[in-house]
Structure formats: structure tokens, C-alpha cells
């Protein structure tokens, strides 16, 4: 078994919200290895594996995107 570091982005469940977050990463030259997404009510949750997790986290937070903490994920 192996573990892979990922991040979980939360966005409003509306057209264009994911595009905005992905554009932020693209503008910084961060590529996405894979992602999984699902919606619950008015929120969408996107699990991302990127080329640079630490840079992805700081970039998204700098742009006021919302990320879930690991404790939030385990209590979901």
C-alpha cells in the first residue's frame, strides 16, 4: 500500500467555479496529475493531485480559494 499526497478544494456548486480554481493553478504553471470531484448540495469538493502540492496549496490560499483540512476530510 502507498499513500499519495493530495489536496481537497471546495467551491460553490455553480458553473465556472472549478474553472476559476484550475485557471489559478495553470497560470502558475502547476499541472494536475489527476482529480476527482463530487457535489453535496451547494458545495463541490475536488480532490487534486498536482505537480507541486505545497505550491498549489499556497497559490490557492493566496487567491482566497477554500481548502479542506485533513481533519475536515476525516469528519466528513
* pLDDT tens for each residue of 15-51: 999 999 999 999 999 999 999 999 999 999 999 999 9
What does the pLDDT read at residue 35? 96
Q: Does domain 7-69 have CATH number 1.10.3210.10?
A: no
Cβ atoms 35, 48 nearer than 8 A: yes
Domain chopping of the chain, boundaries: 7-69
Q: How does residue 70 score in pLDDT terms, banded at 50, 70 and 90?
A: confident
Amino acid at each position: 500500500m502507498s499513500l499519495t499526497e493530495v489536496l481537497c478544494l471546495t467551491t460553490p456548486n455553480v458553473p465556472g467555479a472549478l474553472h476559476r480554481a484550475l485557471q489559478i493553478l495553470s497560470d502558475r504553471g502547476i499541472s494536475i496529475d489527476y482529480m476527482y470531484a463530487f457535489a453535496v448540495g451547494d458545495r463541490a469538493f475536488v480532490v487534486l493531485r498536482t505537480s507541486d502540492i505545497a505550491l498549489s496549496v499556497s497559490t490557492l490560499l493566496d487567491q482566497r480559494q477554500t481548502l479542506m483540512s485533513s481533519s475536515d476530510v476525516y469528519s466528513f
